[in-house]
Structure formats: structure tokens, C-alpha cells
Amino acid sequence: MSKRCREPERTCVGCRVSQPQASLVRYVLSPQQQLLIDYRHKLPGRGVYTCCEIECVVKAIERKQLQRSLKAEQLQVGPDQLVASIIETLVQRIENLIGMARKSGQVVSGSQAVLNGIKRNEGFALVLLSDDVSTGISSKIFGAAQSQHVDVFQMFSKGRIGEILGKGERSVAALQAGKLARAIKLEVQRYKRMSREN
């Protein structure tokens, strides 16, 4: 009979609420006493955690909880700077995950191919629309995705989506259901919260 290990919890130094460790952002000090975002929870040393929420990050900085917990009273970092760094980390993570999905053949790109795939119910977990997609394509994708209960997220330019996929410009990409799609969806939701996007 197998025993399920309980997921470790840590306390956010911003809101003081205990959460599963995997859902929190971890911070450590570099040897040069600089604050590092240890998003993958792999760096050595004493760590401190916040929720992946703007309010918690701001409270942790303004109340000097990061400094106290890391025993780094001289630490100079502002809330805007730290939030921007977390957003940058999230964008890199999303790009990496999409790249991994592409390499494993789990991505369909191009507006017509994605539309056809949604209509044929080919098992897409989410659709990524570029920020600069045309209104016509956007309306068609949103309508088709809504009818099949497929989540749609909008971020990156057509050029950037194409670069991530190793192709020319792409305004639409869809990801097959699976572990990578679930991870991307989670990271995009965190990105939306941290960047105040709906």
C-alpha cells in the first residue's frame, strides 16, 4: 500500500498564509548579497517565500520581511523592480514550456489549422493568441474555442510566437492537452495576475 507524501507548505512573508511550496515564489541571496528569484526552487541557501501576487510582493518589501528573513538588512530592492523581475521570469518560463511542447509535437500553429482543430475537437487544452492578431481572426478563434470550452490566452506578438515555434510570424497557436499544457496554463494565469491583466 503506497503512502502519499504530503506536499510541503511554506508561509508567504507578505500575507503570512501557509500555502503549498510549489505555488509560491522563492527568493535567495546570491554570494554577492543580491536578491535572486529562485522560481524553480533549486538554488542553494536559505529561502524565503511570497505568493505569486502583487499585493504579497509589495507587503514583503514595504515591511522589510524579505530583508529580515534573509538576514540582509542592507538589501535594496523596490516593489516595482521585484514585480517586474517576477513578470520577466514568468515570460521566460512560458516561452520555455511552449518551446518544449513544440519539440514534442504538441503544438499546432496558424489560424486555419487551429480553427479546424478546434472544430474537429482535436483535444486542445489552450489556444495562444498574439497581442497583434487581427480582429477578424480573434473573433473566429474566441467563438470556436468558447463552443468547445477551450481556454484562450492573449500574449506575445506574432513575431515572438513565431520565434518560439521556430517559424515565421504566427498569430495563433494551440497546445494539445497534457502535462505541458497544464503547466503553461498555470504560468499564464500567474503572469496575468502579476501584470494585472484580465
Q: Which residues 6+ apart lie within 8 Å of 88 measured at CB?
A: none
Interval 176-195 mean pLDDT:
94
Closest CA to 39 of 94, 76, 81: 94
Can you tell me which residue has the cell 501576487? Answer: 53
Residues of the chain with CATH 3.30.1330.30: 95-194
Residues of the chain with CATH 3.30.1230.10: 9-77
Closest CA to 80 of 70, 88, 71: 88
Name the superfamily (CATH) of residues 9-77: YlxR-like (3.30.1230.10)
Residues 71-119: tens digit of each pLDDT: 887 788 889 999 999 999 999 999 999 999 999 999 999 999 999 999 9
Which CATH number describes the domain made up of 95-194? 3.30.1330.30
State the pLDDT confidence band at 197, using cuts at 50, 70 and 90.
low
- Comparing 6 with 69, the larger pLDDT belongs to 69
Contact between 171 and 180 under an 8 Å Cβ cutoff? The reply is no
Q: What angle do CA 29, 30, 36 make, to 5 degrees?
A: 65
Residues 29-73: tens digit of each pLDDT: 988 888 999 999 999 989 999 999 999 999 999 999 998 999 887
